[in-house]
């Protein structure tokens, strides 16, 4: 087995087609239990900053060059998505929607994430809402917002006030704005995994800021080991570890990731209905059919609290959760395994 960290291979359409042929053939042989003569499994790792967080990739396959090029193709696609959906890029499609209240001919990525965000909002009774940005912006200064400021901003929060078609995406009310921070990392991971699957790679790990998808296994059939972080690292409790050998999407949301006060009572997760940080949970880890869905549901679970979040997850097919409150008590759905 060899392992390498990616350099910066050149990438173009011809090379892309070569990757498909090489990776697809190799993956097919492995799928049927046929190992090419003297094939040595390779592992390629790469990290890159994107969407305001760190992207980490691990790709395993029989051909090192194909692995390297597969990583490059994946990062290329993820970069394209970032150019559309990052609110931190002034000319992104999302930033233009926030600035003007409307964009024409919205991209497939924007329409997809608006649709998924709406589905999560509906499933969680509005605990998740991408129009929460006016409330989140109130915490950009050192001073906590006043009740008057919260009341004004709450009037701009309503996920049902976004409308879109193939020709147009727009806000129904002036002054609205959105953030996909609570679902965008998951979406960008899903897009990266889709590229690797198209190229024939099935033993992969793709992660963005703790939200991840694993598929297949490590070389020699070893399962992926995924840690569930203790939300209070100063506590002596050990990290829980999940051993995964099937395609699994996992996302974690927590008050420790970005806070506005030292006691973590005020943090980056905002209840869109109150404008305040929810008081009960320290972290929520969710598994779901896609990383974007897991990402959105984990954020919503933080807002809902343990009782409502567990009830929500139990009604959703192939979704499970582990919730940890501020006293480190754990709550699990019936099917969550760790």
Reported as a single tens digit per residue, the pLDDT across 123-147 is 999 999 999 999 999 988 878 889 9
What's the pTM value of the predicted model, to 2 decimals? 0.85
Question: What local confidence, expressed as pLDDT, does residue 149 receive?
Answer: 93
The pLDDT value given to residue 329 = 93
In the predicted model, what is the mean pLDDT of residues 13-22? 41
Residue 151 has pLDDT above 60, yes or no: yes
What pLDDT, on a 0 to 100 scale, did the predictor assign at position 103? Answer: 97
Counting residues of the chain whose pLDDT is more than 70, the rounded percentage is 84
At residue 33 the predicted structure's pLDDT band, cuts being 50, 70 and 90, is: very low
- Which pLDDT does position 105 carry in this prediction? 97
Cite the DSSP H helix spans in 140-242: 147-154, 184-198
User: What are the angstrom distances between the C-alpha of 24 and each of 15, 21, 62, 128, 142?
Assistant: 14, 5, 11, 39, 53
Supply the pLDDT for residue 31: 44
What is the per-residue pLDDT for 120? 97
* Bigger pLDDT: 14 vs 95: 95
* pLDDT value, residue 29: 38
Long-range contacts of 257-263 (CB under 8 A, 24+ apart): 260/139, 260/144, 261/144
Mean pLDDT over 179-185 rounds to: 93
Q: Which two tokens stand for residue 278?
A: 């929810």
Confidence of residue 97 (pLDDT cuts 50, 70, 90): very high
């Amino acid at each position: 087995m060899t392992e390498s960290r990616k350099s910066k291979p050149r990438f173009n359409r011809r090379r892309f087609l070569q990757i498909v042929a090489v990776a697809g053939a190799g993956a097919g042989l492995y799928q049927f239990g046929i190992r090419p003569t003297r094939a040595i499994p390779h592992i390629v790792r790469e990290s890159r900053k994107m969407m305001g967080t760190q992207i980490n990739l691990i790709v395993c396959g029989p051909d090192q060059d194909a692995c390297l090029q597969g990583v490059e193709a994946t990062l290329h696609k993820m970069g394209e998505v970032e150019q559309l959906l990052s609110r931190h890029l002034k000319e992104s499609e999302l930033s233009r929607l926030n600035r003007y209240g409307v964009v024409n001919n919205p991209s497939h990525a924007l329409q997809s994430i608006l649709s998924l965000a709406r589905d999560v909002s509906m499933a969680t009774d509005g605990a998740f809402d991408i129009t929460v940005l006016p409330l989140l912006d109130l915490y950009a200064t050192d001073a906590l917002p006043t009740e008057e400021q919260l009341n004004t901003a709450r009037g701009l929060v309503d996920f049902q006030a976004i409308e879109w078609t193939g020709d147009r995406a727009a806000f129904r009310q002036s002054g609205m704005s959105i953030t996909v921070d609570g679902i965008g990392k998951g979406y960008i991971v899903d897009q990266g995994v889709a590229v690797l699957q198209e190229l024939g790679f099935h033993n992969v790990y793709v992660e963005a800021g703790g939200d991840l998808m694993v598929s297949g296994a490590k070389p020699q059939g070893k399962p992926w080991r995924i840690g569930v972080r203790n939300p209070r690292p100063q506590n002596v409790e050990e990290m829980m570890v999940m051993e995964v050998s099937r395609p699994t999407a996992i996302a974690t949301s927590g008050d420790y990731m970005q806070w506005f006060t030292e006691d973590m009572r005020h943090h980056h997760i905002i209840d869109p209905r109150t404008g305040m940080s929810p008081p009960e949970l320290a972290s929520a880890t969710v598994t779901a059919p896609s990383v974007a869905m897991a990402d959105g549901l984990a954020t919503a679970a933080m807002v809902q609290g343990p009782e409502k979040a567990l009830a929500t997850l139990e009604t959703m097919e192939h979704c499970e959760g582990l919730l940890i409150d501020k006293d480190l008590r754990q709550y699990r759905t019936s099917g969550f395994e760790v």
